[in-house]
Structure 1
Amino acid sequence: MSILANAQAAKRWLNAAPPNMTDVNSSIERTIRDARAADETMNIFEHSSSRSPSRRRM
């Protein structure tokens, strides 16, 4: 959810008159940070599930 919230905040700040570029930049940096963390979590999950023994089909 934080990725979405950061992206929405950046959009609001871009649409402000005048755009608040400092806050836009901060929001985009947080979006990138959170996306990388989510990607790392998914990679760990995928790696751990690929190492688990296969279930027998019944």
Structure 2
Amino acid sequence: MAALGLAGLAVRTRVLGPEHPDTLTTRFHWVRAIGEMGHYAEAPTTLIRSSPAMSWRA
């Protein structure tokens, strides 16, 4: 399941760009999902990579 979400994220990033709102939303949902599955070590790293792009939305 996590691999499928990561594949979708990779496609959105490639097609829409890393700072597109849909890409950022997908990244957020992916981080949330892997956290809910108990993969806590992966979630912060992915979220930190997203933070600079998401800061303008706050």
Normalising to structure 1: TM-score of the pair?
0.50
Normalising to structure 2: TM-score of the pair?
0.50
